[in-house]
Chain A
């Protein structure tokens, strides 16, 4: 309990720090710390899959993205709206306090016998041939959400490309990275092989234990971003056909397998019985690669 309270206090302090920070850079640094503590909180709640994802995406990739943005904005700040007046601020503050109280009360007043689907998941998990219940939900019971989410990532990549200037939009994504030397360059050379092994491990154990494609994809994306940021591995141009196919392949294969299920069994996204595990694994491998590419492209951002 003391651990939990200390963690809650730390998260609150960092969140407040983000809100009152005068400089964007400081705010982002505090935000990364917030993300890491949040990952610990997920662990305390027993949500290990979420803890891994939060650390990898919520703190890691978001941190890289936001730090780079803060650096570029310090050189060229974006236009700001005029700040709200004192009275408006007070009203907004009161409204937000009411929101907090209402949500807090709602959380405390949820039914004492919590309705939920844990028992249903346990009863049906065998049919999915996966040992990790979260993986069963993601790939079978709520497979449509996972499919759509992978499509959302493709859409987000299209969005960032749409936001590039007309001049050279199809070139390499992101701002050009200066060649680094010293520890970063060394790290950027040493870490990727190790990271790829770790990602493969996290992917593989995700079948039966916490871990899986999102977490593995985030690590793979980081292993691509690291040498890119060190300036030793320039990103391929957005116009490259192979890059575009990599981003599209996973979700496209997922939809195709879903349609195959529809033809064979009459329901979209039904895994033909007996072939559940191999098919799920093939789709997950393709998804991991596509998601990793999309995540990396999203962090690099549009060409500037």
Chain B
């Protein structure tokens, strides 16, 4: 344990402390505290990544000096550091964006939505940071619940009946998912007497209790990640939330359970090629069915939500490739890169869609004509994000999908490659539908466009997703640190 391990710990605790203090500070105080925490959080995430890269080993912090199995460990490896950076960047973008809708200026009475939004944002930030750094399976359960409890009210902040119904459905799905996960955790403890990820590595034999636990935890995490066929809650929830909320839910919340799933199958649970094929099969179905469903949507927000269903599918394509010597390293990089690039692109896209909807007064895909006049920069952000989702070079999505495609072929599992290519075409299809409709000339803009800093945020996130693909591949060596496997 070195002093550096304090960095990821603080990256978790500061947002949690902010969330706890938020009610006492009131809406305006919470907003200002959040904005003040953003640079600190960014420095902590950057410092964590630099320390992991420089030391070449994961950072581990033993809480209260108690070492596992009795104590709890928390720390950062390559994937953890990458996700800490991602969550901080997305949260920062969303926070700046959300000031227009949830800000409280001096002397303004405290509004309910503003009172709730800032602590919920902080809880998602802290919850995700915890989910990617905690090393104990039960602490991870608490992280999942933090994410759920923060995400559900964001869906129905506007208090409309449809969003309340979507939130209730989401909550029941999520609770079911976490309780199944917890049952698996219980059986793991019964079988191994520890819940520490590091100690469990390589220690679990494929006995019946462990196999049942593996099935339960996988099913529970699939429901939380909205991996098909357990995705039904996602489209109404992600489409119903306000734009800033949708961006958080699609970009970050589903990634928490995904990272836990990765940690379980790459290191903790006994290897199971059949389960990995099945998991990737669900991913393939998600890519294809989610893409087709997105093509068929008439509302822009629902289209983007179904696009998330499809993009989640790409995340799990890495699983069958992680056990193949020689390609595991590249497949791992591809999977993590997909998680990061989707987070950046999808948050940018949801914010852009929110701005377009706001200025057009609706989100019907068929009636988007004129969007290029009233919302040119959000439309550009939408287009740039779509490049990453499609996997067009030089975007981050291209790097991710190319790595997955080439490793699938190298591993002799060419069928995943076909799915990736088809998925790219479907994504291109729904992106084209939106862009072609939006580029048609509509009624002339009534007034000159006011400057809106939110445009810059959406554009910035989309650009970051694009620039990710221009990083030299060698810099992804960070992601390999702490990876378990061939």
Q: A residues bordering B, Cβ < 8 Å?
A: 79, 102-103, 105-107, 109-111, 114-117, 120-121, 124, 140-145, 148-149, 151-152, 154-159, 161-166, 169-170, 239, 241, 244-245, 247-249, 251-252, 255, 258-259, 261-262, 265-271
Contact = CB atoms under 8 A, between A and B. Distances in A.
Given A144-B63, A163-B153, A102 B24 contact: no
A251 B115 CA distance: 19
15 contacts: A107-B187, A109-B208, A111-B190, A117-B194, A121-B70, A144-B72, A145-B138, A148-B142, A152-B142, A154-B19, A244-B23, A255-B16, A261-B64, A267-B62, A268-B61
Given A106-B212, A144-B63, A271-B64, A241 B187 contact: no
Contact of B63 (A111, A143, A156, A245): A143
Given A109-B207, A148-B139, A161 B1 contact: no
Contact of B22 (A158, A164, A258): A158
Contacts of A142: 71-72, 138
A224 B253 CA distance: 36
A142 to B, nearest CB: 6
B146 A251 contact: no
Interface stretch (B116-124, B338-346, B381-389): B116-124
B275 interface: no
Tell me if A's interface is mostly helix, strand, loop or mixed.
helix
Contacts of B139: 144-145, 148
Given A114-B190, A117-B69, A162-B116, A267 B63 contact: yes
A251 B13 CA distance: 11
Contacts of A267: 1, 61-65
A266 B9 CA distance: 12
A252 B165 CA distance: 33
Q: How large is the interface on B (under 10, 10 to 19, 20 to 34, 35 or more residues)?
A: 35 or more
A163 to B, nearest CB: 6
B63 A166 contact: no
Given A106-B213, A152-B145, A158-B22, A255 B17 contact: yes
B120 A143 contact: no
A162 B149 contact: no
Given A141-B70, A267-B1, A247 B23 contact: yes
Contact of A266 (B3, B165, B194): B3
B123 A262 contact: no
B112 A166 contact: yes
Given A169-B112, A170-B110, A239-B110, A255 B20 contact: yes
A264 B21 CA distance: 24
Nearest to A81: B169
Given A110-B190, A166-B112, A269 B22 contact: no
A155 B70 contact: no
Contacts of A245: 24
Nearest to A168: B112
User: Which of B20, B130, B183 gathers most chain A CB within 10 Å?
Assistant: B20
User: Which of A144, A154, A161 gathers most chain B CB within 10 Å?
Assistant: A144
User: Which of B66, B130, B142, B213 gathers most chain A CB within 10 Å?
Assistant: B66
